[in-house]
Amino acid sequence: MAEGVGKASHDGAGHRARLRQKLAISGGEALHDHELIEYLLALAIPRRDTKPLAKALLREFGGIGGLVTAEWDAIGRVPGMGDTSIAAIKIVQATMLRMLRNTVAERPVLGSWQALLDYLRADMAWLGIERVRVLHLNSRNMLIRDETMSEGSVDEAAIYTREVIRRAMDLGSAALILVHNHPSGSVDPSRQDIDITRQIAEAGKRLGITVHDHVIIGAQGHSSMRALGLL
Q: DSSP assignment of the chain, as one string?
A: --TT-S-SS-THHHHHHHHHHHHHHH-GGGS-HHHHHHHHHHHHSTTS--HHHHHHHHHHHTSHHHHHHS-HHHHHTSTT--HHHHHHHHHHHHHHHHHHHHHHHTS-GGGSHHHHHHHHHHHHTT-SS-EEEEEEE-TT--EEEEEEEEE-SSS-----HHHHHHHHHHHT-SEEEEEEE-TTS--PPPHHHHHHHHHHHHHHHHTT-EEEEEEEEETTEEEETTTTT--
pTM of the model: 0.78
pLDDT at residue number 9: 46
Q: Please tell me the predicted confidence (pLDDT) of residue 95.
A: 94
Weakly modelled stretches of the chain, pLDDT under 70: 1-13, 153-156
